[in-house]
Amino acid sequence: MLVPTSEKPSISKVELIDSIQRLGLRYHFESEIAVVLQQTHKHYVQNGQLILDSDLCSLALLFRLLRQDGYLISPARKYISIYQLQPSHNEALLTLAKLDFIVLQNLHQKEVADVRKWWNSLDVPGNLSYARDRIVECYFRILAVYFEPQYSLGRLILTKVIAVLSLIDDTYDASGTIDELTIFTDALERYIRYISVYYMKLPYEALWNVYDEMDQCMRKGMKKAARAFMRGAKWFNENYVPTTEQYLETAVITSCYSLLSTVSFFGLGHLATEDMFKWVTSQPKLVKVSSLICRAMDDIKRGHVVSVLDCYMKEHGVTRHEAIEEFRKVVSNAWKNMNEELLRPLGVDRPFLMPTSELSSCYGRALQRTR
């Protein structure tokens, strides 16, 4: 029925997944659904576009299921060609859609060029050989959060923040000694303008440049993240495996999801009032469960030096497979909680909820690729 094969998944199989989810039975078929959707994305999506030649209803269903599971995909260009074949199509609306697609595409291409120019000026591969070089990936993650033209500045800022946080994460994970990291953490906490450790100057100064575009919200979040990064570095240095609870308290902070949620509000322009920033920095349930989703999925995907799986295995005496299955359940429940928070009246306008939830969706693919 839903057994994955090497062949292209049929539309009937996609429809079956939809029925399973609507009947509340997905948790019985988590692994099978993940594999089928991964194969569906592999065979029917190229460069973020659906290439399946089918009816509009099937394409809409395919788009929804893939986006729900965190796959970056637009059907906009595909739908334009389908819509214009409909006898009842509105010619003015069709023309507007074509022009708007071109305008947005040109804007996004310019944004990619701008962030690449900024990133190249840092010469990360030449100066920090240990760091990940993935600026374009960072941009496309943010493009999935908000693509509209009015959020252009927000995309540029959030892309830079993610890229700099990636440098800092790699510095704590792969390069610094405890003494050097202590200096680095102290500088971040005390808001010192310059740092003495030579190779740390690049990520530190890059962070300062981003600071200039932010305000106290990001600075406070970064101080909190620095303390958590340092705690993890000490655990590694001391070969200490924390309890699951200890690990998650620290790891949901080092995922930087909460910080990124706050920064994403800067992209909303004048809509982002002081009350909205107070809400997102108060750690509402939506942010907490989203942070848990991102952290747990990332650990399951690539396994840190000490991950939540290691902590759970040691604490409960279970196998790695059993730990993975347990945290898949944790992630599944967290998704349910997040969906409930999006439906429940929170006294917060929907534009402020969507960046937070979309950030989680961007990370969804990480878990799928491990199955």
Q: Do 208 and 255 reside in the same domain of the chain?
A: yes
Q: Do 77 and 127 reside in the same domain of the chain?
A: no
Q: Which domain holds residue 77?
A: 1-89
pLDDT at 316: 95
Q: pLDDT tens digits, residue range 11-68?
A: 888 888 888 877 667 767 778 888 888 888 888 888 777 888 777 788 888 888 887 7
Does some domain include residue 171?
yes
pLDDT at 363: 57
What CATH number should be reported for the domain holding residue 31? 1.50.10.130
Q: Do 51 and 170 reside in the same domain of the chain?
A: no
pLDDT at 3: 67
Q: Do 145 and 229 reside in the same domain of the chain?
A: yes
- CA 52 – CA 30 distance, rounded (Å): 24
Q: Do 172 and 36 reside in the same domain of the chain?
A: no
Q: Do 128 and 185 reside in the same domain of the chain?
A: yes
Q: Do 84 and 129 reside in the same domain of the chain?
A: no
Does some domain include residue 37?
yes
Within 10 angstroms of residue 369's Cβ, the number of other Cβ atoms is 11
Q: pLDDT tens digits, residue range 180-229?
A: 899 889 888 887 777 877 778 888 888 877 776 666 667 788 888 999 99
Does residue 129 have a pLDDT over 60?
yes
Does residue 371 have a pLDDT over 50?
no
Q: pLDDT tens digits, residue range 172-189?
A: 887 778 998 998 898 888
Q: What's the chain's average pLDDT?
A: 82
pLDDT at 366: 39
Q: Do 268 and 213 reside in the same domain of the chain?
A: yes
Q: Do 48 and 146 reside in the same domain of the chain?
A: no
Mean pLDDT of 147-165: 88
Residue after which a domain boundary falls, among 60, 89, 118: 89
Q: Where do we find the tokens 């395919």?
A: 62
Mean pLDDT of 115-142: 88
| 86-116 b/e (C-beta count within 10 Å ≥ 16 → b) | eeeeeeeeeeebeeeeeeeeeebeebbebbe
Q: Do 233 and 292 reside in the same domain of the chain?
A: yes
Domain count, the chain: 2
Q: Do 192 and 295 reside in the same domain of the chain?
A: yes
Does some domain include residue 21?
yes
Q: Do 196 and 285 reside in the same domain of the chain?
A: yes
pLDDT at 119: 92
